Amino acid sequence: MVGKLIMVRLNNIYSPLKFFVYTIINILIAYTSFGICRLVFFISNLDYFPNIESNNVLDIINGAIVFDTAGIIYINILYILLMLIPLPCRERKLWQNISKFIFIVTNTIALILNFIDVVYFRYTNRRTTASVFSEFDREDNIVKIIGNEMLNNYILVIIGIIMIIVLYKAYRNPIKGNVINKENFLTKSAFIYYLTSTFIFIATIPFCIAGIRGGFAHSTRPITIGNANKYVNSPIETAIVLNTPFSIIRTIGKTTYENPNYFNNGEIIKYYSPIHSPKNNEFKKLNVVIIILESMGQEYIDYGYAPYIKRLQDKGLSFKYSFSNGRKSIDGMPSILSSIPMFIEPYFVTHYATNNVSSIAKELNKYGYRSAFFHGAPNGSMGFQAFAKTSGWQEYYGMDEYNNDKDFDGMWAIWDEPFMQFFANKLSEFKEPFVASIFTASSHHPFKIPNEYKDIYKEEEHPIHKCVRYTDNALKKFFDTVEKQEWSKNTLFVITADHTNASLHKEYLTDVGLYRIPIIFYKPNEEIKGDSNKIAQQIDIMPTILDYLNYPEEYLAFGKNLFEDNPNENWCINYNNGIYQFYEGDYIIQFDGEKPIALYNYKTDSLLKDNLLGKVDTQDMMLNKCKAIIQDYILRMTNDNLVLGNKNN
């Protein structure tokens, strides 16, 4: 009797560890299932991936592990909860049978979804997303289609069935029968049981969260399908890195672009075209440096918090009415560097983020430019590295390349001043011509500055103001460094911001003011000057740069050329919580996708109090152009037509 009681107590003590180990074993079985599915997918569609290089295989494998981890945790989160919940009821046979049933069912569904994409990928060239449910919800013959495909691909069906059987047989059950009864569990060892179980349960939570987010770093956002671009050389290869369960789960509830059918496709061009034609002038191979300042709203410049940027506005060409196309950092990078505005949701998090896209770098790479993107955050943060790679930037310099964690701000990135000096010094090593961009980080929540500046930049009306002053000074020191270099005389600098931040002045708290950012073109020792009354936006930067260089090819960019003197090309568009805002001339019209809801003269009515809807002659023309831009954007996004020569443009 004593021996039996001792065994029960020992079982109570070690049972939590046993459950944890068996959970890990079964999760590894799920990893194996995902890996085999990916191998079958790759072999079956090998012809679609002709450009995979041996030196990229490890990147693909690394990416596959990251996305499989997220997908496996998503589909097994209930199973993990049932196995690790710190209660003795989990040691009942019925409980374990239910846990096994949930594991087998969810992972079988995942296996089937992965196998479906082995075939369906050939029609879409991408992993299936949640939009598939709306795409086929009206198809009466869907069962017949699936049946025919199963017959045509019977070998895959057989492999899938075998894998499901193996999944069932390989599952490890931590108990046989009921381990604990009520009488024996009421012993002193119960305390150790609960303590150990609770510790394991709590310790598992951060690992699950990190797995879903794609890492432990504070700056890491939950990974989306767009992050797969980080691990591949071309957008189509993201299908190897991704898995179908992850792609579906991460796009459930995401708004899918649908053709609004405002016009027949041929009518859109009457109002708008994103195709830019070359000039016949000689191509000027100038260096291009694009500086994206975190959260640097025009308000901070106008109210004296950024005096050096104000000097740059006076020295270069700036725009009295200049706007961002989005409200987040992940909106700014595609808008500025690829002329892709944010409509409905950030491009990074849509399932079109694997589209083939261009950028100022990809266009200039064709003519011998060296291209590099700099961001002082941990590599992979915000999805910037993935987008830089897929949009054609040849090199990426992040926190890893900086390689000095002493300058890390403890939250987001390397402090702006040392990282901008790193940027300046690297550019001085580059062979000309080059195109480079930097995305700063210090003017950001939690609004900290380096200790050595705390007595210089005091707290002001808002905590961000001292950070703005610090970044402004870092920018000044950057130019102090580079303007001593000969290459700077042959360089076009563009200074802008990703979005605005905390605003205190009422004219910057309106639907217009919330998008007011600086856009400055500056070339040392050259007459690119003035304060233009023309409307400027982030998506205008790419076409304006290419025009200034006399770029010799036709290309696609949703923005306009700011150097072109055309009264019909004086507009801006952004998306504001379900509303499209279209600016043209003196007016802004707000459009909910179906009807206009307001129209203001934003130049004379800065607080947008006087709704002029129905009272302005140009209202219909403004609305038609707005609709044409929206429809053209959606059609190109959904058909992967964001680059000339890519399907039908």
Does the pLDDT at position 1 exceed 50?
Answer: no
**Residue where a domain stops, chosen among 234, 249, 264:** 249
Q: Report the range out of 163-172, 250-259, 373-382, 637-646 with the highest average pLDDT.
A: 163-172
- Asked if 291 and 191 sit in the same domain, the reply is no
What pTM did the predictor assign? 0.79
Task: Domain of residue 154: give its range.
Answer: 2-249
**What's the pLDDT at 201?**
93
**Residue where a domain stops, chosen among 513, 543, 561:** 561
- Asked if 430 and 531 sit in the same domain, the reply is yes
- Asked if 325 and 454 sit in the same domain, the reply is yes
**Is there a domain that residue 291 lies in?**
yes
Does the pLDDT at position 63 exceed 60?
Answer: yes
**What's the pLDDT at 220?**
61
**Is there a domain that residue 608 lies in?**
no
Does the pLDDT at position 177 exceed 80?
Answer: no
Helix, strand, coil share of the chain (percent; to 5):
50, 10, 35
pLDDT classification of 146: cutoffs 50, 70, 90? confident
> Under a CB-based contact definition with an 8 Å cutoff, are residues 583 and 323 in contact?
yes
- Asked if 554 and 470 sit in the same domain, the reply is yes
- Asked if 30 and 77 sit in the same domain, the reply is yes
Q: What is the CATH number of the domain that holds 302?
A: 3.40.720.10
Does the pLDDT at position 255 exceed 60?
Answer: yes
- Asked if 388 and 464 sit in the same domain, the reply is yes
**What's the pLDDT at 5?**
40
> Under a CB-based contact definition with an 8 Å cutoff, are residues 572 and 607 in contact?
no
- Asked if 236 and 296 sit in the same domain, the reply is no
**Residue where a domain stops, chosen among 539, 561, 583:** 561
Show Cβ contacts of residue 86 under 8 Å, excluding neighbours closer than 6 positions. 16, 194, 197, 198, 200, 201
Per cent of the chain over pLDDT 90 is 62
- Asked if 209 and 313 sit in the same domain, the reply is no
Per cent of the chain over pLDDT 70 is 91
Reported for 341-347, long-range contacts at CB under 8 A and 24+ positions apart, including other chains, are 341/537, 341/538, 341/539, 341/558, 341/559, 341/573, 341/574, 341/575, 341/633, 342/574, 342/575, 343/257, 343/575, 343/580, 343/630, 343/633, 343/634, 344/255, 344/257, 344/575, 345/254, 345/255, 347/226
- Number of domains, the chain: 2
Residue 370 tokens, joined: 């060296």
pLDDT tens for 269-315 read 999 999 999 987 889 999 999 999 999 999 999 999 999 999 999 99
When pLDDT is averaged across residues 582-599 and rounded to a whole number, the result is: 92
In whole angstroms, what separates CA 339 from the centre of its chain?
15
Does the pLDDT at position 375 exceed 90?
Answer: yes
pLDDT classification of 180: cutoffs 50, 70, 90? very low
Q: What is the mean pLDDT of the chain?
A: 88
**Is there a domain that residue 364 lies in?**
yes
**Is there a domain that residue 495 lies in?**
yes
**What's the pLDDT at 131?**
64
**Is there a domain that residue 620 lies in?**
no
When pLDDT is averaged across residues 86-94 and rounded to a whole number, the result is: 87
What distance separates the 2 farthest-apart alpha carbons in the chain?
99
Does the pLDDT at position 337 exceed 90?
Answer: yes
**What's the pLDDT at 236?**
78
Residue 11 vs residue 31, higher pLDDT: 31
- Asked if 170 and 318 sit in the same domain, the reply is no
Answer positive or negative: Cα dihedral of 307, 328, 372, 216. Answer: positive
- Asked if 213 and 296 sit in the same domain, the reply is no
pLDDT tens for 457-467 read 999 999 999 99
Lowest mean pLDDT among 141-155, 299-313, 579-593: 141-155
pLDDT tens for 473-497 read 999 999 999 999 999 999 999 999 9
Spatial distance between the Cα atoms of 475 and 131, rounded to a whole number of angstroms = 44
Determine the number of helices (DSSP H) and then strands (DSSP E) in the chain: 20, 14
pLDDT classification of 6: cutoffs 50, 70, 90? very low
Residue 525 tokens, joined: 């020792």
Residue 26 vs residue 130, higher pLDDT: 26
pLDDT classification of 184: cutoffs 50, 70, 90? very low
When pLDDT is averaged across residues 301-330 and rounded to a whole number, the result is: 94
pLDDT tens for 397-441 read 999 999 999 999 988 899 999 999 999 999 999 999 999 999 999
Question: Cα–Cα distances in Å, from 154 out to 56, 124, 142, 161, 325?
Answer: 32, 21, 18, 10, 49
**Is there a domain that residue 540 lies in?**
yes
**What's the pLDDT at 449?**
93
pLDDT classification of 142: cutoffs 50, 70, 90? low
When pLDDT is averaged across residues 226-246 and rounded to a whole number, the result is: 85
**Is there a domain that residue 347 lies in?**
no
- Asked if 182 and 93 sit in the same domain, the reply is yes
Show Cβ contacts of residue 165 under 8 Å, excluding neighbours closer than 6 positions. none
**What's the pLDDT at 466?**
95
- Asked if 243 and 368 sit in the same domain, the reply is no
Does the pLDDT at position 117 exceed 60?
Answer: yes
